[in-house]
Amino acid sequence: MSLFILITFLLASGFVAIHLFSRYLPFIDTIPRSRLLSAAGGISVAYVFIHLLPELSKHNEVLDKSIQSDAFEFFENHTYIIAMLGLAVFYGLERLVKVSKRKQRTERQIDKASDGVFWIHISAFFLYNALIGYLLLHGEQETVTGLLFYFLALAVHFVTSDNALRNAHKAIYDRVGRWLLAGSILAGWLLGIMVEVNENVIAVLFATLAGGVILNVMKEELPEERESNFWAFASGMAAYTFLLLLA
C-alpha cells in the first residue's frame, strides 16, 4: 500500500469516526451555539470561498473544452449548472424534511420527519458522502497538506450536518443513519481504489458535490435560531483562510 493510499484511508477512517461518535460531543446541541461550533462554521465557509469555488472554476474549464457539440453550446458554464442543480436537490430535500416534520407534528404529535422521508434524505447523503470518500483519492488534493485541509474543512462540516440530521430524524438516525453515512465514506474510498474515471467525470462529480456542500454549509453553519458567536465564526474563517493562502 502506497503512503498516499494509507493517508487517505486514515482520513476516511477519521470521517467514519466523526459520524459514529460526534453525538457524544458535549457542546454539539447547546444554545447559544458554542464558540467552537461557530469557529467550525467559519472554517467551512472559508473552505467554500477560498478552495471550493476556485476548484470549480478549474473543473469548468476542463469540461467546457471537452464538450464541443452544438447541443451543449448553450450551456457555457457546465459545472456551474451542475453545481446549481446539486444545490437545488439538497434544498428540495430540506424542504421535504421540514414539510414532513410539520405534518407529523400536526397528525401524530411527533417531532420528526416520516420514515419514508428519512430514507430519501439519507440516500442522498449516502451518495454525498461516497463522493467525498472517492475524492479523497481522485480530487485536487495531491499533497499531504492538501488532504489535511480537505479533511479539516469537511470534518467540522460533518459534525454540524450530523447534528442537523439527528434533529430531523431522531432515534432512527442514530440507530441506522449514522452507520450508513459512515459506511458510505469507506464505500466511496474503496470505489476510488478500484476505479479511476477520466477528468470529465471528475469535473461532474466535483460540481455535484460543490452544490451540495455550498447549500449544507450555508444552512448549517449560519443558523439564525442558534445564536451563533460572530467573533468565533470570523476567527475560524480568518484562520483557515490564512492557512489556505500559505499552503
pLDDT tens profile 202-211: 888 888 888 8
Displacement of CA 108 from its chain's centroid (Å): 32
- Tell which wins on pLDDT, 28 or 133: 133
Cα–Cα distance, 247 to 244 (Å, whole number): 5
Contact 153, 14 (CB under 8 A): no
DSSP 33: P
Displacement of CA 212 from its chain's centroid (Å): 6
Cα–Cα distance, 131 to 139 (Å, whole number): 10
Q: pLDDT at position 190, please? A: 95
Q: pLDDT at position 88, please? A: 92
Cα–Cα distance, 148 to 154 (Å, whole number): 10
Is it the case that residue 13 has pLDDT exceeding 90? yes
Q: pLDDT at position 67, please? A: 65
For the stretch 144-200, pLDDT in tens is 888 898 899 899 889 888 888 888 898 899 999 999 999 999 999 999 999 888 777
Q: pLDDT at position 176, please? A: 94
Q: pLDDT at position 32, please? A: 53
Mark out the alpha helices in the chain (DSSP H runs): 3-21, 35-46, 53-66, 78-108, 115-138, 144-169, 171-172, 178-194, 199-221, 230-246
Percentage of the residues of the chain whose pLDDT score is greater than 90: 27
- Residue 52 CB partners (closer than 8 Å, separation 6+): 210, 213, 214
Buried/exposed code over 168-188 (b: 16+ C-beta within 10 A; e: otherwise): bbeebbeeebbebbbbbbbbb
**Confidence band for 28, pLDDT divided at 50, 70 and 90:** low
Nearest in space to 214 (alpha carbons), one of 148, 135, 153: 153
Percentage of the residues of the chain whose pLDDT score is greater than 70: 87
Is it the case that residue 12 has pLDDT exceeding 80? yes
Contact 135, 205 (CB under 8 A): yes
Q: pLDDT at position 113, please? A: 83
**Confidence band for 8, pLDDT divided at 50, 70 and 90:** very high
Q: pLDDT at position 221, please? A: 62
Q: Which three cell numbers stand for residue 100?
A: 414532513
Identity at 94, one-letter amino acid code: E
For the stretch 215-229, pLDDT in tens is 877 776 665 555 667
Q: pLDDT at position 33, please? A: 58
Contact 205, 62 (CB under 8 A): no
For the stretch 45-85, pLDDT in tens is 888 888 888 888 887 887 777 766 554 554 556 788 888 99
Q: pLDDT at position 1, please? A: 57
Q: pLDDT at position 151, please? A: 92
Is it the case that residue 96 has pLDDT exceeding 70? yes
Q: pLDDT at position 189, please? A: 95
